[in-house]
Amino acid sequence: MSGCTDATAESHPMNGGDGTYSYTHNSNFQKSATNVASSMINRAVIDKLELSKLFSFTSSNNTFRIADLGCSIGPNTFIAMQNILEAVQQKYLHSQHQNSSSQMLEFQVFFNDHETNDFNTLFSSLPAKRQYFIAAVPGSFHGRLFPNSSLHFVHSSLALHWLSTIPKELLDRTSPAWNRRRIHYTSAPDEVYKAYQYQFAKDMIKFLDARARELVVGGLMVLIMPAVPNSVPLSHMPLGVVYDLLGCALMDMTREGWISEAQVDSFNLPVYVVSPKEMRELVDGNGCFSIQMMELIKPMSSVHDGQITARAITMHLRAAMEGIITKHFGGDIIDELFNRFYMKIEELSDQLQPRSKEGTQLFLVLERK
Amino acid sequence: MSGCTDATAESHPMNGGDGTYSYTHNSNFQKSATNVASSMINRAVIDKLELSKLFSFTSSNNTFRIADLGCSIGPNTFIAMQNILEAVQQKYLHSQHQNSSSQMLEFQVFFNDHETNDFNTLFSSLPAKRQYFIAAVPGSFHGRLFPNSSLHFVHSSLALHWLSTIPKELLDRTSPAWNRRRIHYTSAPDEVYKAYQYQFAKDMIKFLDARARELVVGGLMVLIMPAVPNSVPLSHMPLGVVYDLLGCALMDMTREGWISEAQVDSFNLPVYVVSPKEMRELVDGNGCFSIQMMELIKPMSSVHDGQITARAITMHLRAAMEGIITKHFGGDIIDELFNRFYMKIEELSDQLQPRSKEGTQLFLVLERK
């Protein structure tokens, strides 16, 4: 059962605790994504979930098990789980099974994130009046986390774009993929992009293999992730501009002696932004899932009227990235770095407003065949 | 499904982290209990666990689910879980099912403790090469924690003696159970003892009710708890002497102005030490369990040759009690209090050596009928 131990993936926890720069207080973008996804998840459950495939309603076992993979520390995970639960309950009550069985469904929700995630904060902020049994599962979702056929619904929002590791060639001075003076593949040579893309594919293959074993036949998996439209480079998208400006701010700091250029050369954001076409190929390659829904959605527009402030972008980027930046560069540069980033982003705020008609997040519903 | 939310029980977490006074470094007594219990758990699994009751081995569902209730932060819980897993595996391999199915059992272990337990430390010290899927379940075991019929084995070691709350009458100056100048029922009037006993019974009724719903028919529950032989008062046992001396040390400190007498009057250790006869009555009253094994065991003798040092007692008491004492009296008195306790316990160390032929811990195996 070697598959039960965690993959040796790197972890990139969001800022823990309850402070100014915590993920708890700086996850509104992610929350917007949750809001927009809510109605789509409802639709997926009503249209695509066949409860009769999942349960023999004569048996005593009527537990519906949901997992949120990459849950971070709340509150978004609680909102998402409650939403799924209510959709499934609604479906159950309106289904034919209502009469054939007097048993209510029970729900068990598994909150998953890396072992280094701040689970203590997650547990201290659990909703008091929840309608489900809770469990937390620490470990990398690039490996096995659950027993065979033990889950009915898997949810993962804004987590799968984190790579399990940085491709080695990005750090190799002799490789054409050496990512000099940059911190991401945005605006980088194609070799750098290919290295990222290959790592993402390797990760996603492991992810889909593990979930194929853990989900029951007929179970659904909802994946929400940052995305680019097919054939659009990330540098043309607001997120690409953000990464480029963060890299520029770091390079500026090398010129003033805050950090060395070698430190920037050896730092790469472990994030990949996928296209719908790529995801379809990866899912088809796995073979165990059918694609039930696949759409690019625009999470922001309904909430922010399309306007995102420089301050909000800075705070959110800091909550997400402070951990890995501190690990590489030390904590002393953090305030200076994000001040510089803030000033750059304010100058270019027009470039950061959503222009494309297409969405910036992929909403994907897979059914276990 | 209001039963899914936690009971509003008080929590008494062991000292977290990794420091000098942490539970991690001061849980050898508990570890000794685990060692002694290991061979008894093996026996219980081999003699009492009927796997054919738990699984239809033709189905695809072959996950054996174990819960450790009141797991604290390790390492004892990992040792105990590994031991149970190996015993069940051994039983499985030697059972008739070996030939009738090619499937291996998978194991999922649920680590439970209060929401305030230091789960981050637990997760950071997980065994790397474990043979089971892990999950953590925060919440009080005096309420529901798991879905109906979802567990095959429940284990709880040295946790059930913690009361969910202190009986109100102990704090009521007009009650005959007002526990003046003492911090426990040891050496107290009978009314104080009765109030503790009643609270323990209420807690245990809730505990057994919840587990009866969560354990599958044929599932086993192993409970290990501090105990007194039938009809022996706690004040005649080493643990009673320890509690009395801690109370004396606090009263000494009132006379020197460290704390007020009112503070001592309003403080009571939320711990009850049960007898085998009482536990039998509570289990019979629940009606869902049959008693498969019930023995008083002597956890120390095999490890320490019967000798327990004053320093070891002090360190262990501090790891367990520092949290609740600090909460009531503040942290400033802790060093002084345990220095005084240490000196008292050294004077009386002969009273603390196990004298009775009978054991000081109850080892109980229940089967879900």
Report yes or no on A190 lying in a domain.
yes
Chain A CB contacts of B148 under 8 Å are: 60-63, 106
Hey, of B102, B133, B145, which one would you mutate to test binding to chain A, going by the most A CBs within 10 A of its CB? B133
pLDDT of A293-318, one tens digit each?
999 998 754 344 456 788 888 998 99
CA distance B40 to B213: 25
Q: How confident is the model at residue B52 (pLDDT cuts 50, 70, 90)?
A: confident
Q: What is the pTM of this model?
A: 0.89
Nearest beta carbon to residue A145 from set B61, B107, B133: B133
Report yes or no on A303 lying in a domain.
yes
Q: Classify residue B109 as exposed, middle or buried by CB count within 10 Å of its CB (0-12, 13-18, 19+).
A: buried
Nearest beta carbon to residue B5 from set A120, A128, A146: A128
Q: How confident is the model at residue B182 (pLDDT cuts 50, 70, 90)?
A: very high
> What's the domain range around A320?
23-368
* Top mean-pLDDT range of A55-59, A119-123, B358-362: A119-123
Report yes or no on A14 lying in a domain.
no
Q: Which residues of B160-171 are buried (b: 16+ CB within 10 A; e: fewer)?
A: bbbbbebbebbe
Nearest beta carbon to residue A123 from set B4, B107, B138: B138
Nearest beta carbon to residue B131 from set A4, A60, A120: A4
> Hey, is the C-beta of B138 within 8 angstroms of any chain A C-beta?
yes
* Overall number of domains in chain A: 1
Report yes or no on A182 lying in a domain.
yes
CB contact set of B290 (below 8 Å; sequence gap of 6+):
B366, B367, B369
> Hey, is the C-beta of B5 within 8 angstroms of any chain A C-beta?
yes
Report yes or no on B17 lying in a domain.
no
Q: Which of residues 168-227 of A touch B (CB under 8 A)?
A: none
pLDDT of B102-135, one tens digit each?
568 899 999 999 999 999 999 999 999 899 999 9
What per-residue confidence (pLDDT) applies to A356?
Answer: 63
B144, A133: Cβ pair inside 8 Å? Answer: yes
> Hey, is the C-beta of A284 within 8 angstroms of any chain B C-beta?
no
A118, B120: Cβ pair inside 8 Å? Answer: yes
Q: How confident is the model at residue B2 (pLDDT cuts 50, 70, 90)?
A: very low
> Hey, is the C-beta of B343 within 8 angstroms of any chain A C-beta?
no
Q: Which of residues 99-118 of A touch B (CB under 8 A)?
A: 104, 106-108, 110, 115-116, 118
Report yes or no on A195 lying in a domain.
yes
Q: Which of residues 43-82 of A touch B (CB under 8 A)?
A: 60-63
Nearest beta carbon to residue A119 from set B119, B133, B150: B119
pLDDT of A27-47, one tens digit each?
666 666 667 788 888 888 888
Nearest-CA neighbor of A272 among A243, A236, A310, A314? A243
Nearest-CA neighbor of B164 among B196, B191, B188, B190? B196
CA angle A218, A223, A228 (to 5 degrees): 140
Number of helical H runs and strand E runs in chain B: 12, 7
Residue A230: pLDDT above 90?
yes
CATH number of domain containing B80? 3.40.50.150
Report yes or no on B16 lying in a domain.
no
Report yes or no on B158 lying in a domain.
yes
The answer to whether A119 and B122 have CB atoms below 8 angstroms apart is no
Pairing of strands A361-368, A289-297: antiparallel
In A, minimum Cα distance to B132 occurs at: A4
